């Protein structure tokens, strides 16, 4: 097991030195090297999520097996002192349907980073979901599936060369996350102001120059008994053309029983599709702590004639 852990640590170091200047990592690498991994808490984890979908477009129906961002990863944390923790994670998407998660590549990199956390907050560098993306607060009930809001909205970005910092709580349940992302000869920022209380969760986020767009996003998540209502509003402006588009998402997740839940979602946005409107309804059934099955009916409408897409799918998710 010790050799196994060392293998992943070496992989993490190789990733880090390829992506960042050594000066940024020297302190973290030195700490890990001299501390050792004998007291580290480490685990391998993953998820298989697939569905069989019937897709209707132009009066034609085709059947397709779809991989919904299945993944495998390794994470480890090491307590350096009573107030300081070191952690790292290596995560990649896998595709059981054809073995090619990223074009012709077997693996597609997901959140892979190293970090330090303590009373000062959480500092991390690597490849990570931006603060703007995470500000949707899981309002998207069909995330990673064919009904994901990324088909309609800008800003659903996972970026490399990311330096991130999340503050400790300024006030009760209130934090700020700041990202600095370097891409080629340019860089941009992603910031979110987050409140996570018992009655409501909310977030306000700003992307500055992200993939050519300036965007603002407001999200609310409100639990009411067995029902959770979500709302997101977003405005995005293209930096070069100054085109300005807005969109919104409304979702409802209702627990029908201890194992079953009904999901309803409506998304409207012109950002990526003219007249883009997506309506989805789904049902999840949790078999046990690691396995669930689900079914989804979704329709994506566009302004273009005969461009509407309807999807009916049945799938499963297995966590380990």
For the segment 214-245, what is each residue's pLDDT rounded down to a tens digit? 999 999 999 999 999 999 999 999 999 999 99
Query: Does residue 27 register a pLDDT over 50?
Result: no
**Residue 104 has what pLDDT?**
87
User: Mean pLDDT, to the nearest integer, of 305-310?
Assistant: 86
Q: Which two tokens stand for residue 91?
A: 């995560």
The answer to whether the CB of 119 falls within 8 A of the CB of 168 is yes
Total domains, the chain:
1
Domain of residue 177, CATH code? 2.40.160.10
* pLDDT number for residue 36: 53
Find the mean pLDDT for residues 16-35: 45
What is the predicted pLDDT for the residue at 48?
97
pTM of structure: 0.86
Domain that holds residue 69: 2-319
289, two tokens: 């702590």
Tell me how far apart the alpha carbons of residues 292 and 50 are, in angstroms, rounded to a whole number.
Answer: 11
What is the pLDDT at residue 12?
43
Residue 141, Ramachandran bin (φ over 0: left; ψ between -120 and 50: alpha; else beta): alpha
Answer for the pair 298, 152: CB distance below 8 angstroms, yes or no. Answer: no
Q: Could you give the C-alpha distances from 23 to 12, 26, 27, 36, 42, in angstroms and in order?
A: 16, 5, 8, 21, 26
């Amino acid at each position: 097991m010790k050799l196994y852990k060392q293998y992943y640590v070496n992989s993490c170091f190789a990733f880090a030195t390829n992506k960042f200047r050594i000066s940024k990592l020297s302190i973290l690498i030195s700490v890990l090297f001299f501390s050792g991994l004998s007291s580290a808490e480490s685990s391998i984890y993953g998820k298989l999520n697939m569905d069989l979908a019937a897709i209707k477009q132009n009066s034609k129906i085709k059947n397709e097996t779809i991989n919904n961002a299945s993944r495998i990863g390794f994470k480890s944390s090491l307590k350096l002192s009573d107030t300081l923790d070191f952690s790292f994670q290596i995560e990649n998407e896998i595709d059981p349907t054809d073995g090619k998660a990223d074009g012709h590549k077997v693996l597609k990199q997901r959140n892979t980073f190293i970090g330090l956390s303590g009373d000062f907050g959480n500092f991390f560098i690597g490849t990570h979901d931006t603060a703007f993306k995470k500000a949707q607060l899981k309002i998207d009930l069909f995330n990673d599936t064919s009904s994901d809001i990324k088909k309609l909205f800008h800003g659903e970005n996972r970026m490399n060369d990311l330096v991130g910092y999340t503050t400790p709580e300024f006030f009760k349940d209130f934090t700020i996350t700041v990202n600095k992302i370097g891409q080629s000869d340019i860089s941009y920022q992603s910031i979110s102001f987050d409140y996570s209380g018992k009655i409501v969760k909310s977030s306000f986020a700003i992307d500055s120059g992200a993939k050519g767009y300036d965007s603002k996003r407001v999200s609310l998540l409100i639990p009411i008994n067995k029902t959770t209502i979500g709302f997101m509003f977003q405005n995005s402006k293209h930096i070069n053309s100054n085109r300005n588009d807005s969109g919104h998402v409304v979702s409802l997740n209702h627990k029908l029983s201890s194992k079953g839940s009904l999901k309803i979602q409506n998304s409207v946005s012109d950002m990526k599709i003219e007249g883009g409107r997506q309506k989805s309804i789904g049902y999840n059934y949790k078999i046990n702590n690691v396995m669930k099955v689900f079914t989804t009916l979704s329709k994506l409408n566009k302004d273009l004639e005969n461009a509407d897409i309807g999807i009916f799918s049945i799938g499963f998710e297995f966590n380990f």
